[in-house]
Chain A
Amino acid sequence: MKQFQYVRPTSQQSVIDALTKPGTKIIAGGSNLVDLMKHGVMSPDKLVDINKLPLRDISSIMGNVRTIAIGALALNSQVAEHAMIKERLPLLSQALNAGASAQLRNMATVGGNLMQRTRCPYFYDTALPCNKRNPGSGCGALEGFNRMHAIFGQSEKCIAVHPSDMAVALAALDATVEVVGKKGRRYIAFKDFHRLPGDHPELDNTLAKDELITNVIVPENNFAKNSYYLKVRDRASYAFALVSAAVALDIDNGRIQDARIAMGGVAHKPWRFYEVEKALKGKPASTETFEQIGELAMQGAKAYKENAFKLKLTPATLVEALKHAARIA
């Protein structure tokens, strides 16, 4: 690992000031950044340890809409085990527990989880081409090993997927990311936080260089009774998703009043299925209903040499998750 300077500021303002210098990166849990630094994928000159900032709380906030605010430094394990999260946002708790290992969840923070980089092998191997790591060098995965890669929203520049489970649940739950920077505080809708690769796969998200994530805010909802996170992977635990589905239904008298669907392992960001959500509204929460939406869900999907199996696995996972959420599995 290359040498770097290390600072541990105690105020938000010092963190923001430090971020204005190029080569500066924030470290929170470090579970992905230290890994990337060991691989030589990232080599910051300076690390700003933000663990002294008071951003660990998980709290219920009364307002026009009741929300739950989760501090950016709350640990993945802390959120997953939190009584209020388990009761009111069980989908988030499930998704968190499906990710990484118990050890890593004790290190990884909510903010860091959103900022983690893709695990595409071409991104991780500094000897290989990758437009995300080294813009203009090409995408090795396009014609190479692409079993784990995207089927939605990809570009010729990048077909990598976002690795987070937590983010898939937050996308389904219409979370908001609260950030603070030189220009002050702003709120980014979750769907706008992560980017599609387009011509700039080096940019994972829309956070400005001087900005720091402070909270993730989730509006309260009627989905707690009928939500489910289903992750399909190569081994039973501790592996990244081939595909995963976060499904939240509001069911009244056997009819779907409202639905939220996001999937992981299929795109450069958690992928929302707005058309499917619309199509489910008003329909009976039945196996028949769910099995009919597979085709709609897969519109626009495009596979590569090694990941064509995702064209079948994705709708199958989605239907299975919907059945679990509706408690008819």
Chain B
Amino acid sequence: MTNETNSTTPKKVPAIYPAKTKLQVTVIFFVVLGIYLFSMSWTQQQMAGGFSGALSNMFNVIEKFFPPNTAVISAIWGPMVETIQMAIIATTVAAILTVPLALLAAENVTTFKPLYIVTRTFLNLLRTIPDLVLAVIFVGLFGIGLFPGILALIIFSLGILAKLISETIESVDMNPLEAMRASGGNVFQVIWYALIPQVLPQFTSLVLYVFEINIRASVVLGLVGAGGIGLILNQQLGFYNYPNAMMIIILIFVVVIAIEYISTKIREALL
């Protein structure tokens, strides 16, 4: 004798979301839609005529770039390795510097609010500087070469890494930390015993990810004189030596794919 008979006559049923939430979501939806429509109409005005010449230009470009000059492989292999070395050094230094910064920028570890806010702000500032700008500044300071490139990469990847890792730290299970504290562990012991084991897999994974980004970024940095394969690519483009440039591009492509594949495999095994 349940009230099953009532189910056919619609009674007052509560909505899944409260009216206020519904209104908010609707407003946000239309605002986002408005932004899309506006950007579409705006950029189409600018783009008009852009396409017409592209197809015929395409043939010219391809004709110039192909076939790639395979003879230069031996000559460009050195700078390519340099680029990888740059990325390795920069990633390693950044990974080490990240540890204290990420801890200070994690709200659950750094309970002293002002320190946390200062570190967070510092990291945010770090991330607003584009890597290319960093490279231009350091090339200006230290001259053309690998060193300014490495410095630019360190600062660039520090910004990303510290932010991502501090967020990983904030999501750990705090209970083991409490247990370590309760058994008399000091701050360092609590971090080492209860926190590090929890974030180590993500830490390694993120460092590998940043290493991938650094390989690509170091190519771009070479364009402004910060050493490595990018520098050579820029020279060859400057000499209108397109078959050589094409070979460099293919080499970069192969190396980046290979490194991404290896690092993806390692990260899969870790997590």
Partners in one complex: no
B residues in contact (CB < 8 Å) with A:
none
